[in-house]
Amino acid sequence: MTEASKSIRDELLKPDSGSVRRSRIDWIMRRVFEASAFLTVLPLFVVIMFVFVRALPWLNPAFFFNNPLDPEPGIFNAIIGSIQMSGLAMLITAPIGIAGGVYLSEFASSRVVSIGETLIDILLGVPSIVAGIFAYLLLVPVLGFSAWAGSLALAVLTLPIVMRTTQEVMRLVPVSIREASLALGIPVWRTTLLVTLRTAFPGVLTGLVLALSRALGETAPLIFTAKGTNALNFLEFGTTMNAMPLVIYRYAGAAEDQLVGQAWATALVLMAVALAMNVAVRWRTIDSRVA
Partner 1 sequence: MIRVDGGQGTVPGRVAQGAEGGKHREQSAPEASAGTVELRGVEAFYGTFRAVNNVSMDIHPRSVTALIGPSGCGKSTLLRSINRMHETLLGASVKGSIHLDGVDLYSSDLDPVRVRRVIGMVFQKPNPFPTMSIYENVAAGMRLLGRTPKSELDGVVETSLRRAALWDEVKDKLKQPGTSLSGGQQQRLCIARAVAVQPRVLLMDEPCSALDPVATLKIEELIRELAADYTIIIVTHNMQQASRVSNHTAFFAMDDSRAGYLVETGLTTEIFTAPKLPLTERYIAGRFG
Residues that bind partner 1 (CB under 8 A): 174, 176-177, 179-187, 190-191, 194-195, 198-199, 201, 291
Task: Report the length, in residues, of the chain.
Answer: 291
Shortest distance (Å) from residue 208 CB to partner 1: 17
Decide whether 191 or 229 has the Cβ nearer to partner 1: 191
Is the CB of 115 or the CB of 126 nearer to partner 1?
A: 115
Neighbours of 187 (CB within 10 A): 9
Minimum CB–partner distance for residue 198 and partner 1 (Å): 5
Name the minimum Å distance from CB 290 to partner 1.
11
Helix H, strand E, coil C: the string for 186-210 is CCHHHHHHHHHHHHHHHHHHHHHHH
Q: How far is the CB of 174 from partner 1 (least distance, A)?
A: 8
- DSSP letter string, 228-265: --SS--SS-TTS-B--HHHHHHHHHT-SSHHHHHHHHH
* Closer Cβ to partner 1, 59 or 177, answer by number: 177
Alpha-carbon distance 116 to 46, whole Å? Answer: 39
46/43 Cα distance (integer angstroms): 5
CB 186 to partner 1: min, Å: 5
CB of residue 189 vs partner 1: minimum separation in angstroms?
11
Closest CA to 277 of 204, 206, 219, 202: 206
- Taking the alpha carbons of 126, 127, 128, 133 in that order, is the dihedral positive or negative? negative
- Closest among 166, 165, 145, 163 to 155, alpha carbons compared: 163
| Shortest CB 193 distance to partner 1, Å | 9
Question: Which CB sits closer to partner 1, 199 or 285?
Answer: 199
Name which of 116 and 132 has its Cβ closer to partner 1: 116
Q: Which is nearer to partner 1, 178 or 227 (CB)?
A: 178
Q: Which is nearer to partner 1, 128 or 191 (CB)?
A: 191
b/e per residue 200-216 (b: at least 16 CB within 10 A) = beebbbbbbbbbbbbbb
